[in-house]
Structure 1
Amino acid sequence: MPEFKIYQSTGEQELFVEQSLQQVTAAASETVSAVVTVDDQQTFQEMDGFGASFTDSAAFLIHQVLDDEQRQEVMIKLFDPQEGIGLSVLRNPMGASDYARSVYSYNDLPAGETDLELKQFSVAHDEADIIPLLQQALKLNPQVKLMASPWSAPGWMKTSGSMIGGELKPEFYQAHADYFVRYIQAYAQHGLPIYAVTPQNEPLFEPQHYPSMLMLADAQSRFIRDYLKPALVNHDIDAKILCYDHNWDRPDYPLTVLEQAEAVVDGVAWHWYGGETSAQSAVLQAFAGTEVHFTEGSGGEWIPPFEQAFSNVMRTGIEILRNHSKSLVLWNMALDENNGPTVPGFGRSTCRGIVQINQQTRELVYTLDYYALAHFSQIIRPKALRLAAEASKETIRCVAFRNTDQSLALVLFNDSEENEHVSVQLPGAAPITITMAAKSAVSVLSNPSV
């Protein structure tokens, strides 16, 4: 039995290919150019895992556009830990996001009406495509954790009277907290436990062409502390509450929420569309014990060449984990040949899904995000503990974990423009020297006995 499993990506034509140790080991005459050392005596966060989102658009494409055989294939390749890449975290919109075929909530009413008791609440929309796929994902991988985030409260609760823009009216804070309760209860009835919620997706961004809701830090603190947490407690719901759910460039927001509501906030959720990953560690340093989660990052045409786009996911993914995140969740699980569907009036989409499903031909393509996620999720399993790992050269990016079966998982990315001969020193194993092409990724998994 081999001592290591090794997976390598060297470019668009070679993505996450399993290699033998002999195929990647440098010749004895080659000079080691970098050393990576893993210290298993120093541990950090425990992983929940890796994943993406079953938006309305993604669920429609997988559940309705693909035929039964294709659907089974893609779900296995996404979620099965042995035959696929074992994705284990799903963060779903509560109602419509920008990637939905229509604008909807779970409690839509005619203009001027209210429903404080939520008598018309229903998740029937999700029962068509989203819930069946979540149930299948959970069956394929029982370790899957479900997160939920609203892009907007129902329009009748807001100053705009619409799911587009506006803020949550204070008189409807309790109704919105009850809305979360009803959602969690409805999903539980379908065998889908909700692991964590965030009060609002991107609360500082108020676009006028898709569902959104401005929620400033003071308002979020009050909503969580005085309404959402008490509502969950009153209904014996133990879902975690993660604040913020926005970019690294405004750490002042989660710091404010934690200052005002730390006792009832479990963690902070982050996105990658602005700022630096170090913000995750800075907030954690200020509030020790607060969980760190990365809940959304999309690739797209703004980084068009393959190498740059793949490098961005690998480089940033490693840094997200090195900055204490328990999760790494990209955006749409699937998009079509036009990077959609999107809500009416959205305009041209430039985002990239984990898979692409052509609505005209039903062609199914696994994108670079699938293979980049594979470098992490295939070897770093739920409940793995991050270990200290350092490289002697800054351009060799690395992150290491110990799985519950005691196997060691190491993800490497060569961020230089040259080939590197990297000596990997794992605890309890003889050093191995791996040849890494420029901008290539290598994942190393030791046997549990090593």
Structure 2
Amino acid sequence: MKRFATLALAAACLAAAAGTASAHDRPTSVQAQVFVTTVDRAELLHQRPAVAFAKGASPETTITVDPQREFQTVDGFGASITDSSAALLTGLAPAAREQAMRSLFDPAAGIGVSFLRQPVGSSDFTAEAAHYTYDDMPAGQTDFGLRHFSIAHDEQAILPLLRRAKQLNPRLTVLATPWSPPAWMKTGDSLVGGSLKNDPKIYRVYAAYLLKFVQAYAAAGVPIDYLTVQNEPQNRHPSAYPGTDMNVAAQAAVIQILGPLLRKASPRTKILAYDHNWATHPGDIESTPPGQDPETDYPYRLLADPATAKWVAGTAYHCYYGEPAAQSALHAAYPSKGIWFSECSGSHGPDDTPAQIFRGTLTWHARTLTIGTTRNWAKSVVTWNIALDETSGPHLGGCGTCTGLLTVRADGTVSTDAEYYTIGHLAKFVQPGAVRIGSTSFGTTGWNGQIMDVAFRNPDGSTALVVHNENDDPRTFAVAVGDQSFTYTLPGGALATFTWPRSPGLRTHLRQLPLTGATATASPNAADAALAIDDDASTRWSSGAAQAPGQYLQVDLGRPTTVRRVAIDSGGSTGDYARSWSLQASDDSVTWRSLATGTGVGQLTNVDIGHIRTRYLRVSATAAVGNWWSIADLRLYA
């Protein structure tokens, strides 16, 4: 394992690369910078030689970056300075601690972590001998006046580190989350398990407690940007660490009290709802008390309630059950509310080697979090501990196999883990305030062995494209912007970020037309025709047989539409492009007129047809070839 002192950071690594890059036709002055991390740790955010855009297309699977399509705005990427992380970092020698902090938060010398999720009180990653909140009382006693409230505990290690992090990265965003209210507010009088007492006085004092925390942290120099009211509210049986069963009604009651308080006292602090998994875990369903609703649609219920939703900026999600697509489903239902991804920890088996842990964590997090969550509307990507020791601790209950961004060893040395790079490939290159833009992606979070990606436009106009090769073998692909592209080869499992500046040479005046409401049919395999127009290049229509004249895919746009370009994209199914094709248009699906014919030379064929107004389009194969014919995406542009 490489030591921290020799970390190959992007700002310092300018060595030559072993990758394959090529351009086509006449090179332009626009170059993409390339940064790569490989599963064998041979390259760690390693800057390879730049690759030039050139006029023309590539025959390879092509990532089409479309700056005209805009999605969510980004807040940032990072982890959590838990009590355990703070104890480890504080325990380092001053010079080593400063080096570790710069490696994390400095945008130039490090990866520029730009988002932190901070526990409000103790979690399972607590270095103390006992769990704590900021207003603990002896059993049987209460403190409705919050006279005993104090954040003095955090002034020992956590707050000094947070203040230094904000100095290193002034654009740092902070989300705060409690694992438990003080025990005297709960059934069972314990931080571990139980629920918030169903009492309006308790709802009010808990809201006041959270407000007092926000005010105390702001006074300590760490303003809170976002706040959730309970970590994992459906986890009823936490393993010897703080946790609280908080049903929808209880969370809504607290939010409705807390919202007005924050608006008056700390208007910058926005409330995020839920803060749990993409889907309700079966164990959480089974643990639902008899006669109670398991509330598997928890975030929907909160956002559907106007009295609650008015105080909620959006929803926070974790990775431990379900799929990132749940974020897109919620966005579709409530598009005015944001999505934040707030927790996921790497983990490992008892017999896994360091090499296995690094490889498995890098590849799973790359496809599921770095790319999977952001392609599903996440405004943040946050893992769990920012630093742990070599035994996955210290912890007090909970996870004994978790990993962090950094490992702090007993001898005072520090090394980087896979999550440092899965977060770093975003945080170092995607600035707070960036907007995700359109890009075709061929991989899936469930692993299909293809190239997957996500693209962003930064506030300064530059573009960052993050690409992951899911396959164990090298994969060659192209990146196209407008009418220029470059071709690149990534090693198996590698994660890469490509960046390029704003440039007139990469502008496009074409706008992709939405195909919402359009329908498709095909011959053969009509059942899968819709997969060619679903705006998802990881799915496809395929002939399922050798190419033959007369095979076609036909689209009904639903109404006459003006079309300038048709992109016939065979995606990741290498070789499955039509060797000879024709494109036709019709106003009634009976009488057809020819628009273009041609010979396919690669995975993406762009057909410019002037300004044609039509309701129906049909692309047909016109030659007999042994390869199947697949269309992953049929895109129309005006």
Q: Which moved more, 1:383-392 or 1:97-106?
A: 383-392
Q: Aligned equivalents of 2:192 and 2:468: distance in 1?
A: 41
Please, which of 359, 363, 372 is the counterpart of residue 413 of structure 2?
363
Matched, 1:8 2:32: no
Q: Is the 8 A contact 1:396 1:415 kept in 2?
A: yes
What secondary structure, in the 3-state scheme, does the structure 1 residue paired with 2:259 have? helix
AA aligned to 1:400 is: A
Q: Aligned equivalents of 2:401 and 2:379: distance in 1?
A: 28
Q: CA deviation at 1:393?
A: 6.7
Please list every run of 5 or more consecutive structure 1 residues that lacks an aligned counterpart in the other structure: 26-30
Q: Aligned equivalents of 1:147 and 1:302: distance in 2?
A: 30
Residues 205 and 185 (structure 1 numbering): CA distance in 2 closer, same or farther, change over 3 Å? same
Q: Aligned equivalents of 2:72 and 2:186: distance in 1?
A: 38
Matched, 1:325 2:378: yes
Q: Which residue of 2 aligns with 1:95?
A: 121
Q: Which residue of 2 aligns with 1:418?
A: 473
Q: Is the 8 A contact 1:273 1:297 kept in 2?
A: yes
1:166-315 to 2 correspondences below 5 Å: 166-169=194-197, 170=199, 171-206=201-236, 207-225=238-256, 227-250=257-280, 252-260=297-305, 261-302=308-349, 304=352, 305=356, 306-315=358-367
Q: Aligned equivalents of 2:263 and 2:313: distance in 1?
A: 14
What secondary structure, in the 3-state scheme, does the structure 2 residue paired with 1:138 have? helix
Q: Aligned equivalents of 1:33 and 1:448: distance in 2?
A: 25
Residue by residue over 1:358-398, the C-alpha shift from the partner in whole angstroms, topping out at 9 and shown as x without a partner, is: 1x211211111101211111111110000011036762111
Q: Which residue of 1 aligns with 2:93?
A: 67
Q: Which moved more, 1:128-137 or 1:8-17?
A: 8-17
Considering only CA atoms, is the larger Rg found in Structure 1 or Structure 2? 2
Following TM superposition, where does structure 1 have runs of at least 4 consecutive aligned residues deviating by more than 6 angstroms? none
> Identity rate of aligned residues, in percent?
39
Residue by residue over 1:133-159, the C-alpha shift from the partner in whole angstroms, topping out at 9 and shown as x without a partner, is: 000000011100111000000001100
What secondary structure, in the 3-state scheme, does the structure 2 residue paired with 1:431 have? strand
The size of the alignment, in residue pairs, is 440
Residues 197 and 16 (structure 1 numbering): CA distance in 2 closer, same or farther, change over 3 Å? same
Q: Is the 8 A contact 2:477 2:489 kept in 1?
A: yes
Please list every run of 5 or more consecutive structure 2 residues that lacks an aligned counterpart in the other structure: 1-28, 281-295, 445-449, 507-638
Q: Which residue of 1 aligns with 2:186?
A: 158
Q: Which residue of 1 aligns with 2:401?
A: 350
Please, which of 455, 470, 476 is the counterpart of residue 400 of structure 1?
455
Residue by residue over 1:329-357, the C-alpha shift from the partner in whole angstroms, topping out at 9 and shown as x without a partner, is: 000010011111111xx277100011000
Q: Which residue of 2 aligns with 1:53?
A: 80
Matched, 1:339 2:392: yes
More helix by share: 1
AA aligned to 2:495 is: A
More strand by share: 2
Residue by residue over 1:237-268, the C-alpha shift from the partner in whole angstroms, topping out at 9 and shown as x without a partner, is: 33110000000013611001111221111100
Q: Aligned equivalents of 2:391 and 2:495: distance in 1?
A: 29
Q: CA deviation at 1:302?
A: 4.3
Q: Aligned equivalents of 1:179 and 1:277: distance in 2?
A: 32
What secondary structure, in the 3-state scheme, does the structure 1 residue paired with 2:328 have? helix
Q: Which residue of 1 aligns with 2:107?
A: 81
AA aligned to 1:315 is: R
Q: Aligned equivalents of 1:243 and 1:348: distance in 2?
A: 24
Q: Aligned equivalents of 1:350 and 1:236: distance in 2?
A: 37
Residues 115 and 392 (structure 1 numbering): CA distance in 2 closer, same or farther, change over 3 Å? closer
AA aligned to 1:19 is: R
RMSD of Structure 2 on Structure 1 (CA) = 2.0
Q: Is the 8 A contact 2:388 2:403 kept in 1?
A: yes
AA aligned to 2:317 is: W
Q: Is the 8 A contact 1:389 1:398 kept in 2?
A: yes
AA aligned to 2:233 is: P
Residue by residue over 1:181-212, the C-alpha shift from the partner in whole angstroms, topping out at 9 and shown as x without a partner, is: 11011111112110000010000012150111
Q: Which residue of 1 aligns with 2:65?
A: 38
What secondary structure, in the 3-state scheme, does the structure 2 residue paired with 1:352 have? coil
Please, which of 489, 494, 498 is the counterpart of residue 440 of structure 1?
494
Q: Give the TM-score, by structure 1 length.
A: 0.94
Q: Is the 8 A contact 1:105 1:153 kept in 2?
A: yes
Q: Which residue of 2 aligns with 1:382?
A: 432
Residues 347 and 380 (structure 1 numbering): CA distance in 2 closer, same or farther, change over 3 Å? closer
Q: Aligned equivalents of 2:477 and 2:166: distance in 1?
A: 38
Q: Aligned equivalents of 2:30 and 2:442: distance in 1?
A: 27
AA aligned to 2:304 is: E
Q: Which moved more, 1:372-381 or 1:264-273?
A: 372-381
Q: Give the TM-score, by structure 2 length.
A: 0.67
